[in-house]
Amino acid sequence: MRFRRLCELRAEKGLTLKQVGDYLGISEHAYSLYETGKRDLTSDMLMALTDFYGVSADYLVELTDDPMPYPPCKK
């Protein structure tokens, strides 16, 4: 599965593959594999990316067009 939104969000923020890779602690090439769909996102990587971009996981994997994260659950 290609993660089109990863590429779009990175471009909107004016970031390079290297900058995002550095944030995640992986190489530029490794990050590019996520954007092109040649590597599946692990749950840890998905959560790191939602935090980095400030969007919901559902938005990243194109289950919704609303980028806003869900509010925290009340305990």
Q: What is the mean pLDDT of the chain?
A: 90
38 is written with which tokens?
Answer: 């040649």
pLDDT in tens, 2-44: 788 999 999 999 999 999 999 999 999 999 999 998 999 899 9
Question: What pTM was estimated for this model as a whole?
Answer: 0.82
Instruction: Please say whether the dihedral angle defined by the alpha carbons of residues 72, 40, 3 and 12, taken in this order, is positive or negative.
Output: positive
Ordered domains of the chain (ranges, CATH): 4-60 (1.10.260.40)
